[in-house]
Structure 1
């Protein structure tokens, strides 16, 4: 679990598409350097969010760590665009002493979005985004939480065409990677888990109601239909 409060900006050292070493696991691996602030208490198997992706440390020294990348992660995120020198947001998984300053972030990226606009707004930057997978737009609401490249942010507006916006204050600009990105760049998106949980529970509850002929919902629908039918018949008499 993470908070979406970025601790440090690291640098991609290398992207290995087939790492045959034990720590690479004969798959894709990425090494991140300039990461000293998040490695002081690191252990093999720890979780570190890299641009919002919860990844497992398989090897590390005092300033560099390696993580394995699954095919699912490559499909869902912008990790395939990382190159040596790319800057990435880093956050360790929460511990007992961490203040919960952001919001509940799993590090399970849902999809990516494209930066479609950016403009100054006082000392802030107003960014606009368009989702790659529109089915997640229902979870993005004005004044709701969203995690973008591992940064906990507040949605300021959602247009009818489902373009959504965040306003990034100066302090955040200086401590995350998004201001380094241009229009057209992709960012990792994790929508607020609360919305997904509510949708699932409502869906299950409605499904159970519809399957039970004597459920309150079915009885109410039946009554409404009967009343409508009776009204129509009375008009015809």
Structure 2
């Protein structure tokens, strides 16, 4: 579990589409450097350090599902990446509940300066996720917890705003129009949808749902009067 508050920006120093080393496992891997500051208490198997790490770098393996859902397969040596360690007890929770499980990507379609702030408009690669995005709600973009400004459900786009401090501490402002970013919608919306859907529709057509049971009780009560 993460907060979406970026601790440090690292640099991609190696990419292997077929990593045959012991830690690569014959799959796609990335090596991230310039990140000694967040590896002081890292261990093999941690969320940020999956396969291998040294004093100032760590290696991650990318499964096919990860490559399909994220923009990590498009990274190049020298690109910057946001880094955050998993949340620990006893810290201020400054962002929102971020799992680090990317749902889809979104493409930047406009960037508009407003004083020292920056408005960015993005279109979802998978429009079905727009139902989980609401104005003033949370969203995770490349691991950064951000607040949504506007949402267009019909066209599946949304806007966010970056204040000056955020622009200086995350990789998002480095992206250009047409670039993609990883998107994780607020998981609370998905839980609510599943619970409410089950109540209204039921587990099966035979069982019915909560709404159907209320209607039946009302009809039965009217029939007895």
TM-score (ref. length: structure 1): 0.87
- What is residue 90 of structure 2 aligned with on the other side? 97
**Alignment equivalent of 2:102, drawn from 104, 109, 133:** 109
Structure 1 moving runs of 4+ over 6 Å: 221-224
**Alignment gaps of 5+ in structure 1:** 49-55, 228-237
How much has 1:208 moved relative to structure 2? Answer: 2.0
Displacement of 1:25 in angstroms is: 1.2
Q: Deviations over 1:156-210 (max 9, x none)?
A: 1113523200010000000000110100000000000010000111111122286
Q: How does 1:42-53 map to 2 (within 5 A)?
A: 42-48=42-48
Report the 3-state secondary structure (helix = DSSP H, G, I; strand = E; otherwise coil) of the residue aligned with 2:202.
helix
Could you tell me which residue of structure 1 aligns to residue 37 of structure 2? Answer: 37
Q: Does 1:69 align with 2:85?
A: no
- What corresponds to 1:233 in structure 2? none
Query: How far apart, in 2, do the equivalents of 1:64 and 1:25 lie?
Result: 18
Structure 2 residue matching 1:57: 3-state secondary structure: coil
1:181 lines up with 2:175 in the alignment: yes
Matched, 1:20 2:13: no
Q: 1:145 to 1:213 in 2, by over 3 A?
A: closer
CA distance in 1, matches of 2:10, 2:207: 55
Q: Does 2:162 match 1:165? A: no
Task: Give me the whole-angstrom Cα distance separating, in 2, the residues matched to 1:211 and 1:100.
Answer: 44
Tell whether the 8 Å contact from 1:119 to 1:127 is kept in structure 2 after alignment.
Answer: yes
Gaps of 5+ in 2: none
Paired residues of 2:151 and 2:158 also in contact (CA < 8 A): yes
Contact 1:126-1:168 within 8 A present in 2 as well: yes
User: Which position in structure 2 is the counterpart of 1:212?
Assistant: 207
Distance 1:169 1:214, change over 3 A: closer
CA shift, 1:222, in A, is 9.0
Distance 2:11 2:59 in 1: 12
Q: Name the count of aligned residue pairs.
A: 218
1:118 matches 2:126: no
Match of 2:148, SS state, is: strand
Structure number with greater Rg is 1
Q: Matched residues in 1 for 2:53 and 2:139: separation?
A: 30
Classify the secondary structure of the residue corresponding to 1:102: coil
Q: CA RMSD in A?
A: 1.9
Does structure 2 retain, via aligned residues, the 8 Å contact 1:212–1:218? no
